[in-house]
Chain A
C-alpha cells in the first residue's frame, strides 16, 4: 500500500469544499478524498491506495473493541449523572476513529492522547478505571505513561502534539523502530502549538503521525470557524503528506493509520491523518449541543454509525452469530459492572496528598507548608478529642489562630 499515491502525491482536492464554503452552503460530510473501505450500509469497497485483508477474528476483534468502548463510555456518562464523576468527555460516535488508529499501533509506538481517547486507551490495555480518576477528581491522571506507552491525558488543547513531536525526535535519535501518534481535534488545529508541532516534526523529520479526529464541533464552534481548507490539506504546506479518512469506518482508519505509522517508522517523517467523524454526544457532560446544532445533522451522522455498519457486514457475511453477540453483550455488562464498582470504590486521596509529587527532588517551601498543614490538621484531631471529653481545650478556631 502506498501512502504517497493517495496523499501528498494524489490528485489535488477538488475545489468544491472551498468554493461551497465561501458560498456558505457546504454540506457536512460531503468532502473530497475520503478514504473508505466499508460504506455506511456495510458494503466492502476497495480503495486504490489503501487495502486491508482482515481475518474474521480481526474483524470480530475490532467490532468487540468498539462495542466495549461504547459501553464503557455510556457507563461513565451514567456515573457522572449519578454524581460519581464530576465530568465526562464522551467519545460516542468516534469509536472507529479511535479503535482503528489504536489497533494500528505496535507496542513500541507511543501515544499522546487528548482527554477523549478512551477507545485508544482500550487498545493499549490501559485499565479503564485509570482514565476515570481525573474525571472523579481523585487525581489528575496518575497512570504511568511508560507502562503502556500511553501518555497522560492532556487538557490544554494541542499541547500534547509538541510533546509527541519531541518524543518522536528522541525515537529518531535512538534509532528506535517505533513511531508516535499524537491525537488532536478540529478545534486544536487552530492552536499555535499544533502548527509548531507540524513545523518541528517536518524540520527534524520526526517519526510522528498527527491524528486529527475532526468530529465537526469544537464545543459549539463548527470547523468553518477553524479552517478555510480541509484540515488534512494543511500538511502539504508543512511539507508532509496528509490524508482524510472516513473516521466512522474502522477498516479504513486501520489501513490508513497503519500506512501512516509505517511511513513514519521507515524514516519518511511525519504524516497527518484527518479522521472525518462526528461527536454524537455533548462536548462533555456539562455541554448542551441542542443550543448550537440541529437534530437533522445528528440523524444524518447516526446513519453512518461506525458500529452498526460493521455489524451489518459481519452478519451479512456470516462472520458473527448470535452466540458471539450474546457473549459480547454479557462481556459488556461485566465491563460496565466492573467500572461502576471500581469507581464507587475509588477512595478520595488524603489531604496531605496535595503536597506529594510537586517536585521530584524536594522543595523547602513544600516541606514547610506540608508540616504546617499537618499540624493544622492535627489540631482538629485534638479538638475532636476534647469534644469527647478528653479535657483538651483546643478548638478549630484556636488552631486556626496559630496557623500561618
Chain B
C-alpha cells in the first residue's frame, strides 16, 4: 500500500491536468469545490467572510457563496465549535476555522467532550461531520500563541481524526476528504508552508486520507515527519545524499489513525528510524510511533528510535524560534547518532 510521491505525481499526470499553486490556494480551491459540491457544507470562523481569513484561505468564498454559507462568527471559539455541533445535528457539514493554533483551547472542551463523543454517546445514531481547520506550527516570527503544535492533544482523544498535509496536492485533496468524512476531523495546516507552491492534480484519484506516503525513497534510515517538517526532512535527505547516505522520508499525513504499515515497511527496509515534528518531543507523536514500531519491528531495528522536536518549554519568543524548531542540522545530528549505533 506504499505509494511514493513520484508515483502519485505520475498518476496525476497520466490522468490529466496539474496546476501549480501554493498550499493556501489549494486549500481555498478545495473549500470552493466542497461548497459547490454539497449545499450542506458551511464555512465558519473569525474573519472568514469579507476578509477571507487572516491567511486568506477563504478568500472570495464569501463573495461567491454568501454570508449564509461563509459565516463570520463572534470571537468565541467554544461558541464556534459548539454551534457547529448543533448545525451538524441539523444535517450540515460545518468547516470551522480556528484562527491560530494557540486559540483553539477555548474550544477544546466542546471538541473533546462533545464533538468527539457524540457519535458514541448516541450509539451511532448521530454523526458529526465537522472539520476543524487549525493553522499550526512556528517559523513565522509571531507573538505568543501563534506558533504552537498541539496535534498530540487531539490525537489522544478517541472519536477525533487528525490529519496534516505537507504539500499543495495533499492540501487540496485531504481537505475535501476530511469534509466528506462522517467523523470530526482536526485539520492541521502548516502555516509557514502556506505559500510553498506545488503541483495539484485536480482530476487525479487521491491517496487515502489516512495513508502515509514515501515522499523520498532511501535505504539507510527512515525519517518520519508530517506537515511542515516534511520539507525539512526532504532537505535533510538531499544533504545526506551528498555524503553518500540514502534516507527514506515518510510523510505520515495522518496522525489519527496512523498508517503504521507504511512506517513499518520502511523501517524494516532501513533498520533505523528518526521521527521529526515541531511539537514537543515529550508525549508527542514521536513517542507513540517509537513505541509501536519497537513492538512491530523489534528485530529489524539497528538502533533505538530517535526523536527530534520541540523542547519541554513554552514556545519561545520569535527571536529564539530558529533554535527551538528542528532544522536541517538537528535532523542530521539525529541521523548521525542513529547511524553510529
Chain A contact residues, CB within 8 Å of chain B: 139-146, 151-152, 154, 156, 159, 161-171, 173-174, 192-193, 196-197, 199-200, 203, 356-361, 363-366, 404
**A139 and B86 within 8 A (CB):** no
Partner of B89, one of A161, A166, A173, A196: A166
Partner of B210, one of A161, A356, A364, A404: A364
Contact partners of B79 in chain A: CB under 8 A: 162, 165, 193, 196-197, 199-200
Task: Output the least CB separation between B300 and chain A (Å).
Answer: 18
B204 close to chain A: CB less than 8 A: no
Binds A, one of B56-64, B123-131, B216-224: B123-131
B322 close to chain A: CB less than 8 A: no
**A145 and B258 within 8 A (CB):** no
Per the bound structure, the CA–CA distance linking A357 and B158 in Å amounts to 11
**B82 and A193 within 8 A (CB):** yes
A-B contact pairs, 11 of them (CB 8 A): A139-B123, A140-B120, A141-B121, A156-B109, A159-B113, A163-B89, A193-B79, A196-B82, A363-B183, A363-B256, A366-B158
**A360 and B127 within 8 A (CB):** yes
Chain B contact residues, CB within 8 Å of chain A: 68, 73-74, 76, 78-79, 82-92, 106, 109-110, 113-114, 117-128, 158-159, 161, 181-183, 210, 256-260, 295
Contact partners of B121 in chain A: CB under 8 A: 140-142, 152
Interface of A is mostly: helix
**A359 and B78 within 8 A (CB):** no
Per the bound structure, the CA–CA distance linking A197 and B110 in Å amounts to 13
Contact partners of A361 in chain B: CB under 8 A: 181-183
Please name the residue on chain B nearest to A364 by beta carbon: B257
Please name the residue on chain B nearest to A198 by beta carbon: B79
**A167 and B182 within 8 A (CB):** no
**A163 and B86 within 8 A (CB):** yes
**A162 and B161 within 8 A (CB):** no
Contact partners of B181 in chain A: CB under 8 A: 361
Contact partners of B161 in chain A: CB under 8 A: 359, 363
Per the bound structure, the CA–CA distance linking A146 and B113 in Å amounts to 21
Please name the residue on chain A nearest to B257 by beta carbon: A364
- Do A171 and B210 contact each other (CB < 8 Å), given the known contacts A193-B78, A358-B158? no
Contact partners of B68 in chain A: CB under 8 A: 173
Contact partners of A360 in chain B: CB under 8 A: 119, 124, 127-128, 182-183
**A166 and B122 within 8 A (CB):** no
**A156 and B122 within 8 A (CB):** no
Per the bound structure, the CA–CA distance linking A165 and B120 in Å amounts to 22
Task: Output the least CB separation between B338 and chain A (Å).
Answer: 26
**A165 and B122 within 8 A (CB):** no
- Do A200 and B119 contact each other (CB < 8 Å), given the known contacts A144-B125, A163-B85, A167-B87? no
Since A142-B125, A165-B83 are in contact, a sample of 12 more A-B pairs with Cβ atoms closer than 8 Å, ordered by chain A residue number, is: A139-B123, A141-B122, A145-B125, A159-B114, A166-B86, A168-B86, A169-B87, A170-B92, A192-B106, A197-B79, A363-B183, A363-B256
Contact partners of B183 in chain A: CB under 8 A: 359-361, 363
Contact partners of B295 in chain A: CB under 8 A: 404
**B86 and A145 within 8 A (CB):** no
**B120 and A170 within 8 A (CB):** no
**A167 and B82 within 8 A (CB):** no
Contact partners of B123 in chain A: CB under 8 A: 139, 141-142, 356-357
Per the bound structure, the CA–CA distance linking A151 and B132 in Å amounts to 23
Task: Output the least CB separation between A375 and chain B (Å).
Answer: 15
**A165 and B86 within 8 A (CB):** yes
Please name the residue on chain A nearest to B77 by beta carbon: A196
Contact partners of A145 in chain B: CB under 8 A: 89, 122, 125-126
CB-CB nearest 4 A-B residue pairs: A166-B86, A162-B82, A170-B90, A166-B83
Contact partners of A151 in chain B: CB under 8 A: 89
Contact partners of A156 in chain B: CB under 8 A: 109, 113-114
Per the bound structure, the CA–CA distance linking A165 and B110 in Å amounts to 14
Please name the residue on chain B nearest to A168 by beta carbon: B86
Per the bound structure, the CA–CA distance linking A163 and B83 in Å amounts to 5
**B124 and A357 within 8 A (CB):** yes
Per the bound structure, the CA–CA distance linking A282 and B321 in Å amounts to 54
- Do A200 and B256 contact each other (CB < 8 Å), given the known contacts A144-B122, A193-B82? no
- Considering residues A152, A156, A170, A173, which has the most beta carbons from chain B within 10 angstroms of its beta carbon? A170
Contact partners of A139 in chain B: CB under 8 A: 123
Contact partners of A200 in chain B: CB under 8 A: 73-74, 76, 79, 83
Per the bound structure, the CA–CA distance linking A200 and B86 in Å amounts to 12
Contact partners of B126 in chain A: CB under 8 A: 144-146, 152
Per the bound structure, the CA–CA distance linking A340 and B159 in Å amounts to 34
Per the bound structure, the CA–CA distance linking A142 and B124 in Å amounts to 8
Contact partners of A144 in chain B: CB under 8 A: 122, 125-126
Per the bound structure, the CA–CA distance linking A134 and B244 in Å amounts to 62
Please name the residue on chain A nearest to B210 by beta carbon: A364
Partner of B78, one of A152, A162, A356, A404: A162
Please name the residue on chain B nearest to A163 by beta carbon: B86
**B210 and A163 within 8 A (CB):** no
Per the bound structure, the CA–CA distance linking A197 and B83 in Å amounts to 8
Contact partners of A142 in chain B: CB under 8 A: 121-123, 125
Task: Output the least CB separation between A345 and chain B (Å).
Answer: 18
Please name the residue on chain A nearest to B106 by beta carbon: A192
**B83 and A162 within 8 A (CB):** yes
Please name the residue on chain B nearest to A153 by beta carbon: B121
Per the bound structure, the CA–CA distance linking A163 and B256 in Å amounts to 25
**A196 and B74 within 8 A (CB):** yes
- Do A192 and B78 contact each other (CB < 8 Å), given the known contacts A162-B110, A171-B90? yes
- Do A197 and B82 contact each other (CB < 8 Å), given the known contacts A142-B123, A146-B125, A358-B159? yes
- Do A164 and B257 contact each other (CB < 8 Å), given the known contacts A142-B123, A196-B74, A356-B123? no
Per the bound structure, the CA–CA distance linking A144 and B125 in Å amounts to 6
**A356 and B124 within 8 A (CB):** yes
**A164 and B86 within 8 A (CB):** yes
